[in-house]
A = this chain, B = another copy of it.
Amino acid sequence: MPHKLLRVHRADAMGAAGRRPVMIAIAGDSAAGKTTITSGLLRALGPDRCVAVCVDDYHRYDRDERRDLPFTALHPDCNHVDIMEQHLQLLATGHPVLKPVYDHHTGKLTRPEYVQPREFVIVEGLLPLHTKLMAACFDVTVFLNPPEEIRRDWKIRRDTTQRGYSRDQVLSELGRRETESAAFIRPQRQRADIVVRFAHVEQRRDPPGTPLSAEIVLRPTVRHPDLSTMLADSGQPMHLKLSRDEDGRPVDTLHVHGYVPREDSHMLEKAIWAQLGTDTGLPCYLGELDGGRRSEPLAITQLLLLYHMLEAAR
Protein backbone atom coordinates (compact mmCIF):
# COMPACT_ATOMS: atom_id res chain seq x y z
CA MET A 1 0.00 0.00 0.00
CA PRO A 2 2.55 2.69 0.95
CA HIS A 3 4.81 1.57 -1.86
CA LYS A 4 2.08 1.90 -4.42
CA LEU A 5 1.33 5.43 -3.20
CA LEU A 6 4.99 6.30 -3.56
CA ARG A 7 5.27 4.94 -7.08
CA VAL A 8 2.24 6.86 -8.26
CA HIS A 9 3.53 10.02 -6.71
CA ARG A 10 6.97 9.83 -8.29
CA ALA A 11 5.61 9.11 -11.75
CA ASP A 12 3.30 12.10 -11.40
CA ALA A 13 5.97 14.49 -10.27
CA MET A 14 8.15 13.62 -13.25
CA GLY A 15 5.26 14.08 -15.62
CA ALA A 16 4.51 17.62 -14.41
CA ALA A 17 4.25 20.18 -17.24
CA GLY A 18 4.72 17.39 -19.74
CA ARG A 19 3.39 17.11 -23.28
CA ARG A 20 0.22 18.97 -24.07
CA PRO A 21 -2.72 16.57 -24.08
CA VAL A 22 -5.58 16.31 -26.55
CA MET A 23 -8.64 17.78 -24.84
CA ILE A 24 -12.24 16.89 -25.65
CA ALA A 25 -15.32 18.51 -24.06
CA ILE A 26 -18.56 16.61 -23.58
CA ALA A 27 -21.18 19.12 -22.50
CA GLY A 28 -24.85 18.63 -21.82
CA ASP A 29 -27.61 18.92 -19.29
CA SER A 30 -27.98 16.66 -16.26
CA ALA A 31 -28.56 13.02 -17.35
CA ALA A 32 -28.04 13.81 -21.04
CA GLY A 33 -25.79 10.75 -21.40
CA LYS A 34 -22.36 12.30 -20.78
CA THR A 35 -21.13 9.50 -18.52
CA THR A 36 -22.24 6.77 -20.94
CA ILE A 37 -20.33 8.37 -23.82
CA THR A 38 -17.30 9.12 -21.64
CA SER A 39 -16.93 5.69 -20.08
CA GLY A 40 -16.73 4.04 -23.52
CA LEU A 41 -13.98 6.45 -24.59
CA LEU A 42 -12.10 5.91 -21.32
CA ARG A 43 -12.24 2.11 -21.66
CA ALA A 44 -11.22 2.22 -25.32
CA LEU A 45 -8.12 4.36 -24.63
CA GLY A 46 -7.28 2.91 -21.22
CA PRO A 47 -6.35 4.70 -17.98
CA ASP A 48 -2.67 5.04 -18.95
CA ARG A 49 -3.50 7.21 -21.94
CA CYS A 50 -6.69 8.94 -20.87
CA VAL A 51 -8.14 10.72 -17.84
CA ALA A 52 -11.65 12.14 -17.36
CA VAL A 53 -12.47 15.30 -15.40
CA CYS A 54 -16.01 16.28 -14.42
CA VAL A 55 -16.45 20.05 -14.13
CA ASP A 56 -19.59 19.61 -12.02
CA ASP A 57 -17.20 19.13 -9.11
CA TYR A 58 -16.46 22.86 -9.18
CA HIS A 59 -19.56 23.73 -7.11
CA ARG A 60 -19.14 26.88 -5.08
CA TYR A 61 -21.77 25.79 -2.53
CA ASP A 62 -22.66 22.42 -1.07
CA ARG A 63 -26.21 21.04 -1.00
CA ASP A 64 -27.11 22.66 2.33
CA GLU A 65 -25.87 26.06 1.25
CA ARG A 66 -27.66 25.84 -2.08
CA ARG A 67 -30.99 25.32 -0.33
CA ASP A 68 -31.24 29.04 0.50
CA LEU A 69 -29.87 30.37 -2.77
CA PRO A 70 -32.03 31.86 -5.52
CA PHE A 71 -30.50 29.64 -8.22
CA THR A 72 -29.69 25.97 -8.84
CA ALA A 73 -26.41 24.11 -9.34
CA LEU A 74 -26.70 24.84 -13.08
CA HIS A 75 -26.11 28.55 -12.65
CA PRO A 76 -22.58 29.77 -13.40
CA ASP A 77 -22.72 31.82 -10.17
CA CYS A 78 -23.17 28.53 -8.33
CA ASN A 79 -19.84 27.28 -9.69
CA HIS A 80 -16.19 28.39 -9.51
CA VAL A 81 -16.16 29.27 -13.20
CA ASP A 82 -12.89 31.21 -12.86
CA ILE A 83 -11.20 28.16 -11.31
CA MET A 84 -12.65 25.89 -14.03
CA GLU A 85 -11.09 28.21 -16.63
CA GLN A 86 -7.81 28.16 -14.75
CA HIS A 87 -7.72 24.38 -14.39
CA LEU A 88 -8.69 23.74 -18.03
CA GLN A 89 -5.88 26.05 -19.16
CA LEU A 90 -3.45 24.27 -16.85
CA LEU A 91 -4.46 20.82 -18.08
CA ALA A 92 -4.36 21.96 -21.72
CA THR A 93 -0.76 23.12 -21.23
CA GLY A 94 0.27 19.83 -19.62
CA HIS A 95 0.14 20.85 -15.95
CA PRO A 96 -1.43 18.93 -13.05
CA VAL A 97 -4.31 20.39 -11.04
CA LEU A 98 -5.76 19.77 -7.60
CA LYS A 99 -9.37 19.27 -8.68
CA PRO A 100 -12.21 19.83 -6.20
CA VAL A 101 -14.52 16.88 -5.52
CA TYR A 102 -18.28 17.05 -4.94
CA ASP A 103 -19.82 13.96 -3.37
CA HIS A 104 -23.20 13.33 -5.05
CA HIS A 105 -24.29 11.00 -2.24
CA THR A 106 -23.73 13.36 0.68
CA GLY A 107 -24.02 16.64 -1.22
CA LYS A 108 -20.76 17.78 0.40
CA LEU A 109 -17.54 19.16 -1.04
CA THR A 110 -14.72 16.90 0.04
CA ARG A 111 -11.01 16.09 -0.35
CA PRO A 112 -9.68 17.33 -3.72
CA GLU A 113 -8.01 14.99 -6.16
CA TYR A 114 -4.63 15.38 -7.89
CA VAL A 115 -5.11 15.09 -11.65
CA GLN A 116 -2.19 14.74 -14.01
CA PRO A 117 -3.12 15.18 -17.68
CA ARG A 118 -2.44 12.13 -19.81
CA GLU A 119 -2.25 11.87 -23.60
CA PHE A 120 -6.03 12.49 -23.69
CA VAL A 121 -8.22 14.48 -21.28
CA ILE A 122 -12.01 14.14 -21.43
CA VAL A 123 -13.82 17.01 -19.72
CA GLU A 124 -17.50 16.37 -19.18
CA GLY A 125 -20.18 18.26 -17.30
CA LEU A 126 -22.85 20.91 -17.33
CA LEU A 127 -20.74 23.95 -18.21
CA PRO A 128 -17.42 23.05 -19.90
CA LEU A 129 -18.19 25.35 -22.84
CA HIS A 130 -19.73 28.18 -20.83
CA THR A 131 -17.02 30.74 -21.60
CA LYS A 132 -15.00 31.36 -24.75
CA LEU A 133 -11.81 30.78 -22.81
CA MET A 134 -12.95 27.34 -21.66
CA ALA A 135 -14.09 26.36 -25.15
CA ALA A 136 -10.70 27.47 -26.52
CA CYS A 137 -8.95 24.85 -24.35
CA PHE A 138 -10.39 21.97 -26.40
CA ASP A 139 -9.40 20.22 -29.61
CA VAL A 140 -12.93 18.85 -30.08
CA THR A 141 -16.18 19.96 -28.47
CA VAL A 142 -19.34 17.88 -28.19
CA PHE A 143 -22.83 18.79 -27.01
CA LEU A 144 -25.40 16.14 -26.05
CA ASN A 145 -28.89 17.19 -26.90
CA PRO A 146 -31.52 14.48 -26.27
CA PRO A 147 -35.23 15.37 -26.45
CA GLU A 148 -36.36 16.67 -23.05
CA GLU A 149 -38.77 13.77 -22.40
CA ILE A 150 -35.98 11.21 -22.87
CA ARG A 151 -33.62 13.16 -20.66
CA ARG A 152 -36.35 13.38 -18.00
CA ASP A 153 -36.75 9.59 -18.00
CA TRP A 154 -32.98 9.10 -17.79
CA LYS A 155 -32.73 11.58 -14.92
CA ILE A 156 -35.57 9.96 -12.97
CA ARG A 157 -34.00 6.52 -13.39
CA ARG A 158 -30.51 7.63 -12.35
CA ASP A 159 -31.39 9.99 -9.50
CA THR A 160 -33.91 7.61 -7.89
CA THR A 161 -31.64 4.55 -8.12
CA GLN A 162 -28.18 6.07 -7.59
CA ARG A 163 -28.58 9.39 -5.77
CA GLY A 164 -31.35 8.71 -3.28
CA TYR A 165 -34.04 11.07 -4.60
CA SER A 166 -37.75 10.30 -5.05
CA ARG A 167 -39.45 10.59 -8.44
CA ASP A 168 -41.35 13.69 -7.28
CA GLN A 169 -38.18 15.35 -6.08
CA VAL A 170 -36.52 14.80 -9.46
CA LEU A 171 -39.53 16.21 -11.35
CA SER A 172 -39.70 19.26 -9.11
CA GLU A 173 -35.94 19.82 -9.51
CA LEU A 174 -36.28 19.61 -13.31
CA GLY A 175 -38.93 22.33 -13.14
CA ARG A 176 -36.78 24.51 -10.89
CA ARG A 177 -33.86 24.14 -13.30
CA GLU A 178 -35.68 24.79 -16.59
CA THR A 179 -34.97 28.55 -16.80
CA GLU A 180 -31.29 27.99 -16.12
CA SER A 181 -31.06 25.08 -18.56
CA ALA A 182 -32.36 27.41 -21.24
CA ALA A 183 -30.13 30.30 -20.19
CA PHE A 184 -26.82 28.52 -19.58
CA ILE A 185 -26.75 24.86 -20.67
CA ARG A 186 -28.41 24.83 -24.10
CA PRO A 187 -26.54 27.88 -25.49
CA GLN A 188 -23.35 25.80 -25.29
CA ARG A 189 -24.65 23.86 -28.32
CA GLN A 190 -23.40 26.80 -30.43
CA ARG A 191 -19.82 26.16 -29.32
CA ALA A 192 -19.82 22.44 -30.21
CA ASP A 193 -18.10 20.90 -33.22
CA ILE A 194 -20.39 17.88 -32.87
CA VAL A 195 -23.97 17.80 -31.55
CA VAL A 196 -25.38 14.40 -30.66
CA ARG A 197 -29.08 13.64 -30.25
CA PHE A 198 -30.24 10.17 -29.22
CA ALA A 199 -33.98 9.84 -29.91
CA HIS A 200 -36.75 7.66 -31.27
CA VAL A 201 -37.16 7.98 -35.02
CA GLU A 202 -40.40 9.80 -35.67
CA GLN A 203 -43.12 7.99 -37.60
CA ARG A 204 -41.54 4.60 -36.94
CA ARG A 205 -42.73 1.93 -34.57
CA ASP A 206 -39.65 -0.08 -33.65
CA PRO A 207 -40.12 -3.18 -31.48
CA PRO A 208 -39.56 -2.56 -27.76
CA GLY A 209 -35.90 -2.82 -26.81
CA THR A 210 -34.67 -1.25 -30.05
CA PRO A 211 -31.89 1.19 -29.12
CA LEU A 212 -32.44 4.90 -29.71
CA SER A 213 -31.27 6.34 -33.01
CA ALA A 214 -28.55 8.97 -33.21
CA GLU A 215 -28.59 12.21 -35.14
CA ILE A 216 -25.04 13.53 -35.19
CA VAL A 217 -24.54 17.10 -36.41
CA LEU A 218 -21.01 17.47 -37.81
CA ARG A 219 -20.08 21.14 -37.99
CA PRO A 220 -17.31 22.14 -40.41
CA THR A 221 -15.36 23.68 -37.49
CA VAL A 222 -13.21 20.51 -37.41
CA ARG A 223 -12.29 18.11 -40.20
CA HIS A 224 -14.53 15.05 -40.08
CA PRO A 225 -13.82 11.72 -41.80
CA ASP A 226 -15.17 11.76 -45.35
CA LEU A 227 -18.36 9.66 -45.40
CA SER A 228 -20.22 11.41 -48.19
CA THR A 229 -19.87 8.75 -50.87
CA MET A 230 -20.57 5.74 -48.70
CA LEU A 231 -23.62 7.17 -46.90
CA ALA A 232 -25.32 9.20 -49.62
CA ASP A 233 -28.49 7.07 -49.83
CA SER A 234 -31.04 8.60 -47.50
CA GLY A 235 -33.22 5.48 -47.62
CA GLN A 236 -30.64 3.49 -45.64
CA PRO A 237 -30.55 3.10 -41.81
CA MET A 238 -27.27 5.03 -41.85
CA HIS A 239 -26.97 8.10 -44.02
CA LEU A 240 -25.32 11.51 -44.21
CA LYS A 241 -27.36 14.55 -45.11
CA LEU A 242 -26.26 18.06 -46.02
CA SER A 243 -28.53 20.54 -44.30
CA ARG A 244 -28.68 23.80 -42.39
CA ASP A 245 -28.29 24.01 -38.63
CA GLU A 246 -30.80 25.89 -36.43
CA ASP A 247 -28.94 29.14 -37.13
CA GLY A 248 -28.73 28.57 -40.88
CA ARG A 249 -25.09 27.47 -40.99
CA PRO A 250 -24.35 24.51 -43.30
CA VAL A 251 -23.72 21.19 -41.57
CA ASP A 252 -23.58 17.50 -42.31
CA THR A 253 -25.91 15.36 -40.25
CA LEU A 254 -25.13 11.70 -39.79
CA HIS A 255 -28.16 9.55 -39.03
CA VAL A 256 -27.66 6.14 -37.46
CA HIS A 257 -30.91 4.35 -36.80
CA GLY A 258 -31.29 2.12 -33.78
CA TYR A 259 -32.27 -0.90 -35.87
CA VAL A 260 -29.14 -0.82 -38.07
CA PRO A 261 -27.67 -4.34 -38.37
CA ARG A 262 -24.31 -4.94 -36.64
CA GLU A 263 -22.67 -5.85 -40.01
CA ASP A 264 -23.60 -2.49 -41.55
CA SER A 265 -22.42 -0.44 -38.60
CA HIS A 266 -19.22 -2.49 -38.47
CA MET A 267 -18.53 -1.56 -42.10
CA LEU A 268 -18.98 2.13 -41.27
CA GLU A 269 -16.69 1.77 -38.27
CA LYS A 270 -13.97 0.25 -40.45
CA ALA A 271 -14.37 3.02 -43.03
CA ILE A 272 -14.02 5.73 -40.35
CA TRP A 273 -11.07 3.99 -38.75
CA ALA A 274 -9.28 3.47 -42.08
CA GLN A 275 -9.15 7.24 -42.59
CA LEU A 276 -6.93 7.56 -39.52
CA GLY A 277 -4.23 5.58 -41.31
CA THR A 278 -3.41 3.70 -38.12
CA ASP A 279 -2.13 0.14 -37.79
CA THR A 280 -4.07 -0.56 -34.61
CA GLY A 281 -7.34 -2.43 -34.83
CA LEU A 282 -10.78 -1.05 -34.08
CA PRO A 283 -11.16 -0.17 -30.41
CA CYS A 284 -13.17 -2.44 -28.12
CA TYR A 285 -15.83 -1.53 -25.57
CA LEU A 286 -17.80 0.82 -27.80
CA GLY A 287 -21.61 0.89 -27.84
CA GLU A 288 -22.08 -0.68 -24.40
CA LEU A 289 -25.19 0.33 -22.45
CA ASP A 290 -26.18 -0.56 -18.86
CA GLY A 291 -27.08 -4.17 -18.28
CA GLY A 292 -24.91 -5.54 -21.08
CA ARG A 293 -27.14 -4.13 -23.85
CA ARG A 294 -25.55 -2.77 -27.01
CA SER A 295 -26.32 0.22 -29.23
CA GLU A 296 -24.91 0.64 -32.73
CA PRO A 297 -25.70 4.41 -32.80
CA LEU A 298 -23.75 4.81 -29.53
CA ALA A 299 -20.83 2.79 -30.91
CA ILE A 300 -20.64 4.95 -34.05
CA THR A 301 -20.86 8.13 -31.97
CA GLN A 302 -18.04 7.03 -29.68
CA LEU A 303 -15.92 5.90 -32.62
CA LEU A 304 -16.31 9.28 -34.29
CA LEU A 305 -15.15 11.01 -31.11
CA LEU A 306 -12.19 8.63 -30.82
CA TYR A 307 -11.35 9.39 -34.44
CA HIS A 308 -11.16 13.10 -33.60
CA MET A 309 -9.11 12.52 -30.44
CA LEU A 310 -6.56 10.35 -32.25
CA GLU A 311 -6.49 12.65 -35.27
CA ALA A 312 -5.76 15.63 -32.98
CA ALA A 313 -2.96 13.67 -31.29
CA ARG A 314 -1.04 13.14 -34.53
Q: What residues make up the interface of A, taking CB atoms closer than 8 Å to B?
A: 1-2, 5-6, 9-10, 13, 16, 60-62, 65, 68-70, 77, 80-83, 86, 90, 95-98, 100, 108-112, 114
Contacts and interface: CB of A to CB of B under 8 A. Distances in A.
B13 A82 contact: yes
B96 A65 contact: no
A111 B62 contact: yes
A16 B10 CA distance: 33
Contact of A5 (B2, B10, B65, B110): B65
A262 B207 CA distance: 92
Contact of A114 (B60, B95, B110): B60
A1 B68 CA distance: 8
Contacts of A65: 2, 5
Contacts of A90: 86
Contacts of A61: 5
Nearest to A68: B2
A90 B62 CA distance: 25
24 contacts: A2-B69, A2-B70, A5-B65, A5-B69, A6-B69, A6-B77, A9-B60, A9-B77, A10-B77, A13-B81, A13-B82, A16-B82, A60-B114, A62-B111, A82-B96, A83-B114, A86-B97, A98-B100, A98-B112, A100-B112, A108-B111, A109-B111, A110-B110, A112-B112
